[in-house]
Structure 1
Amino acid sequence: MHNQKMIKPHINQHIWLLLIGIVIILGVFLRIHVLENTVIDSPIRADAHDYFHYTKNMVEHQTYSRKAASSPTPDALREPGYPFFAYFFYDANAERFVAKVLTAQTIIQCLAFLLLTIVLYQTLGGIYTFFVSLLLWTFPHFITVNTYFLTESLFLSLITMILVFSALLSKVRTNKQNLYVYLVLGVLIGITTLVRPSFQYFALFYLVMLFVWERKANYQVILCVLVALLPSLLWGIRNMMALGEWSDSTLMINGLYHGSFPMFMYNNDPSTFGFPYRFDPLASEVYQGVSHTLGIIYNKAINSPAEYLQWYLAGKQMFLWQWDIIAGQGDVFIYPTLASPYYYEDGIAYFTHSVNKTIHVFWMLLSFAGLAVIFYRMWKQQLNTNPFIFMAASIFLYAILIHIIVAPFPRYGIPFKVCALIICVYTIKRAIEWTTKRSA
């Protein structure tokens, strides 16, 4: 009888591992299927156009420039992370070049998600990992971002790797090993900052959060933060040498200004939805500088304080975390998409899309509730959670706070949803454990 009791947990464990393996295979299949059968209308457009020419000019002219010219001049509009990634796959044939990059970022995402799934299994156990894996591997937004020559896919993979390495902090046994993990985390955070500039303040934010959590910050954490800041420092030095200025403030101005229109409309006019700045007569003035832009936003907010307060504290989060992409095609598509497996009603992709869309709002709301509980209990020192969950919660909270300031386009929230997923399932696990303990 005793042997039978010992065998049963192992059988259950193997069943969950088998189910998780099936989910992973499904996720890999969906990524290959969607990548091979998606057709984008003019894929090298808008932001993708800039990334394409940055890479092309680095290879052909040894100049970091987004200009399509025979003698391009250097600039610093966009961070160099994604163009440097694409650099390794450059091909003179544009179509072949783009295909190589899209394939590479899809493979990297699969590997990153595989490592994350292993970490989740070790942290949450079989049953919870199975359910979070279903969402992680089939979530349509995570899959479709691989089909664009844009930063979202690489940014998502880097955030995933930050989570994976943060999990090692609970497994190392010596201070030396702990230091090595923090150094790798610093490098990953630094590289991620060069892919998505809105992440540039996370290293300092993480330091503050650790101090709040542990009421102290050891030298290993401080070293991690310093390493994380180094890539941005080197990029700033490059800009000073090449351009005579530390950075190009255009994107910061865009982020502040584009995010200042309540409900993404100009004067509440539905016909301006998604692109309100195109209808604002003050649009030409904002590029006089960040301070001037803030002045314009301040004057608007003073005239309608209640509307702007509601927008900045609640409305922005509603848009950032919603399902439908705006300022793009809509649904899960950024650029106009002529063909996609998600269009075919009789396919597995369409089925997973429908299921995910139905439950999306529920797990997002649960993740917000879980985040609030986690940090409340940490603040009260009632919860000693592990570094992996802490990192996921910190990144999730950072995304919420930074997009109170800048434009909350739903596209920008996609990579951060991997953290929201983890917090959601962790919350369910803790709630069930608490309920079971109370009823025992």
Structure 2
Amino acid sequence: MMDDLTNATMTSSRVITRWQWMAMAGIGLLALLIRLAYVRTAIVDHPLRGDTLQYFAYALNLIDHHTFSLAPPGQTPVPDSFRDPGYPSFLAALSVYFGREQAFYLATLDIQCILSAVTVSIYSLLVRRWVSMAAAVTVGCGLALWPHMISMCGYVLSETLLGFLVASGLLALQMACERSSTGAGLGAGLLFAAAALTNAVLTPLLPVFAAVAAWRDNGRRTLWVAVLIGATLPSAAWIARSATLPPERTASDRMAMNFAQGSWPEYHLAWAPAMTGDPKAKAVMAAIDSDTKLLTDSPRAGMSAIFSRLLSHPGHYLGWYLSKPIELWGWSIGIGAGDLYPYPTFNSPLAGVGPLGLLTLAMAALNPLIFVLALAGFIVIFRSATRWPPSLLLAASAAAFVTIVFTLLQSDARYSTPYRGIEWSLSAIGASSLTRAISRMRNRGVRV
């Protein structure tokens, strides 16, 4: 199978004209200007809160104490692994250069705008390789204008960096396979390792993919071994470091919390009212916290309690879990201020009746269609996997993998933001396949 993938990659269209390069660069520039305009207009109420506050605490402890710790300023930092190190390290690097005041905050948003715009251009280039220039322009414009990718640039949160690392890793893998370059393969592995260190959900994805490819693709086994090494060693080092720490504030604790929260359909509805003192919502949150504590203290007892609750109303909970992929790839951010906003945000250009506000309404209406076309594209790819390059197979695998993981854990539209480029790419393949199918039917005289 992988030998056929080699042929598919080698015969893919590599020649990109100057005008096509200019078009893709123009789309990236459009994305950058929109994002910069957004972060300079929208006002986030108390931006240092929630996850952001934790990321910043880690960054300060890295700078001041060379310790990865969630301890707030003024306390002795104790090493932990509750959060992944990628984004706090990114913030620490920016803070060293820009300081800790307003300049740091503004620079972080501006750099995230740049990363997001580059992500748009990368997917344009990939779709040009995978499908066609027309599809590349469509995907590029869609991502340049996609409201979630725009709004996330305005928060000190990890999604924008993660999306950039995933896109860069896919591009590096595409280049590695086209050129049979071991160095590019190692780079692709390292980029995905950086993504996994930004969000541990991705940790097993590329190592498993590369191991299977190394087994099946005899002609490029050395390349795939390089990918495997790059993807595995950084994460393995972090896991080894975490294994030496006291059993407090661990990554397992965070996973237990997300699993417990994700097993309650009422969680998203109760979260905001509980913050304002609603007694019923607070009772729901207390029950969720109880599940989390039991799962952390005694995993076997915690799992038993959660599964007993699920089996008490199997139809109800089965329907809930089946709906979670739609929630993940849906529109509204449930844990936050709602709509597109993790935190309360005022003066947003994406709201109201301005050009971006009207465009946001159109995109919201389009979102279910993008999801359906992406699902169709996924089916097309894996029905004829030998036709497609490995980078696209990895992208489709990533979309399926994160959907499964977030279905089992906590599911929210915020978490799909780093993968919207993959969703749009798959939707382009779905739309292209549908168009060809309709054309073939018309050629056979079938009325459509």
Q: TM-score range by the shorter chain?
A: 0.7 to 0.9
The answer to whether the aligner puts 1:417 opposite 2:420 as a matched pair is yes
Shift in Å at residue 86 of structure 1? 1.1
Q: Which runs of 5+ in 1 are unaligned?
A: 1-12
Residue in 2 that maps onto 1:7: none
The secondary structure found in structure 1 opposite 2:362 is: helix
Residue in 1 that maps onto 2:141: 134
| The one of 51, 56, 60 aligned to 2:55 | 51
**What value does the CA root-mean-square deviation take over the aligned residues?**
3.0
Shift in Å at residue 208 of structure 1? 6.8
The AA in structure 2 aligned to 1:55 is: A
The answer to whether the aligner puts 1:398 opposite 2:401 as a matched pair is yes
Question: Is the 1:253–1:289 contact (alpha carbons within 8 Å) kept by the matching residues of 2?
Answer: no
Structure 1 residues 219 and 402, CA gap change in structure 2 (3 angstroms): farther
| The one of 188, 197, 208 aligned to 2:200 | 197
Shift in Å at residue 194 of structure 1? 0.7
Give, in whole Å, the separation in 2 of the partners of 1:38 and 1:233.
Answer: 40
Residue in 2 that maps onto 1:64: 68
Q: In the TM superposition, what whole-angstrom CA distance separates every residue of 1:187-234 from its partner, at most 9, and x where no partner exists?
A: 011111110111112124424774898799935324422331211221
| The one of 304, 307, 325 aligned to 1:298 | 307
- Which segment drifts farther, 407-416 or 104-113? 104-113
The answer to whether the aligner puts 1:354 opposite 2:361 as a matched pair is yes
Residue in 1 that maps onto 2:39: 35
Residue in 2 that maps onto 1:104: 111
The answer to whether the aligner puts 1:80 opposite 2:85 as a matched pair is yes
Give, in whole Å, the separation in 1 of the partners of 2:175 and 2:325.
Answer: 31
Q: In the TM superposition, what whole-angstrom CA distance separates every residue of 1:122-174 from its partner, at most 9, and x where no partner exists?
A: 433222222111211110101111111111110111111122123224421x4
- Which segment drifts farther, 215-224 or 144-153? 215-224
| The one of 250, 253, 257 aligned to 2:256 | 253
Give, in whole Å, the separation in 2 of the partners of 1:93 and 1:65.
Answer: 18
TM-score (norm 2): 0.84
Give, in whole Å, the separation in 2 of the partners of 1:298 and 1:144.
Answer: 37
Give, in whole Å, the separation in 2 of the partners of 1:245 and 1:35.
Answer: 37
The AA in structure 1 aligned to 2:125 is: I
Shift in Å at residue 74 of structure 1? 2.2
Give, in whole Å, the separation in 2 of the partners of 1:189 and 1:421.
Answer: 20
Question: Is the 1:275–1:327 contact (alpha carbons within 8 Å) kept by the matching residues of 2?
Answer: no
Shift in Å at residue 69 of structure 1? 3.1
Structure 1 residues 281 and 56, CA gap change in structure 2 (3 angstroms): closer
Residue in 2 that maps onto 1:95: 102
Give, in whole Å, the separation in 2 of the partners of 1:425 and 1:307.
Answer: 34
Give, in whole Å, the separation in 2 of the partners of 1:363 and 1:184.
Answer: 31
> % of aligned pairs identical?
21
The AA in structure 1 aligned to 2:163 is: L
Shift in Å at residue 325 of structure 1? 0.6
The AA in structure 2 aligned to 1:76 is: S
The AA in structure 2 aligned to 1:46 is: G
The AA in structure 1 aligned to 2:331 is: W
The secondary structure found in structure 2 opposite 1:351 is: helix
Give, in whole Å, the separation in 2 of the partners of 1:169 and 1:274.
Answer: 52
Shift in Å at residue 59 of structure 1? 1.0
Matches within 5 A, 1:214-229: 218-229=221-232
Give, in whole Å, the separation in 1 of the partners of 2:168 and 2:107.
Answer: 22
Give, in whole Å, the separation in 2 of the partners of 1:240 and 1:392.
Answer: 30
The AA in structure 2 aligned to 1:162 is: G
| The one of 174, 186, 190 aligned to 2:189 | 186
Shift in Å at residue 437 of structure 1? 4.8
| The one of 324, 328, 337 aligned to 2:336 | 328
| The one of 370, 373, 386 aligned to 1:366 | 373
Structure 1 residues 213 and 263, CA gap change in structure 2 (3 angstroms): farther
Give, in whole Å, the separation in 2 of the partners of 1:430 and 1:234.
Answer: 43
| The one of 386, 389, 394 aligned to 1:386 | 389
Q: In the TM superposition, what whole-angstrom CA distance separates every residue of 1:324-378 from its partner, at most 9, and x where no partner exists?
A: 11011111111111231113412x3213212211111111111112212322333
Give, in whole Å, the separation in 1 of the partners of 2:141 and 2:383.
Answer: 29
Give, in whole Å, the separation in 2 of the partners of 1:361 and 1:265.
Answer: 21
Question: Is the 1:264–1:274 contact (alpha carbons within 8 Å) kept by the matching residues of 2?
Answer: no
Question: Is the 1:262–1:307 contact (alpha carbons within 8 Å) kept by the matching residues of 2?
Answer: no
The secondary structure found in structure 2 opposite 1:253 is: helix
Give, in whole Å, the separation in 2 of the partners of 1:147 and 1:401.
Answer: 28
Question: Is the 1:169–1:387 contact (alpha carbons within 8 Å) kept by the matching residues of 2?
Answer: no
Question: Is the 2:27–2:121 contact (alpha carbons within 8 Å) kept by the matching residues of 1?
Answer: no
- Which segment drifts farther, 36-45 or 15-24? 15-24
Structure 1 residues 242 and 309, CA gap change in structure 2 (3 angstroms): closer
Shift in Å at residue 37 of structure 1? 1.1
Q: In the TM superposition, what whole-angstrom CA distance separates every residue of 1:24-67 from its partner, at most 9, and x where no partner exists?
A: 44322210100111211111111100100111111122222222
The secondary structure found in structure 2 opposite 1:171 is: helix
The AA in structure 1 aligned to 2:100 is: N
Shift in Å at residue 432 of structure 1? 2.4
Structure 1 residues 220 and 17, CA gap change in structure 2 (3 angstroms): closer
Give, in whole Å, the separation in 2 of the partners of 1:426 and 1:274.
Answer: 45
Question: Is the 2:52–2:157 contact (alpha carbons within 8 Å) kept by the matching residues of 1?
Answer: yes
The AA in structure 1 aligned to 2:341 is: F
Question: Is the 1:236–1:246 contact (alpha carbons within 8 Å) kept by the matching residues of 2?
Answer: no
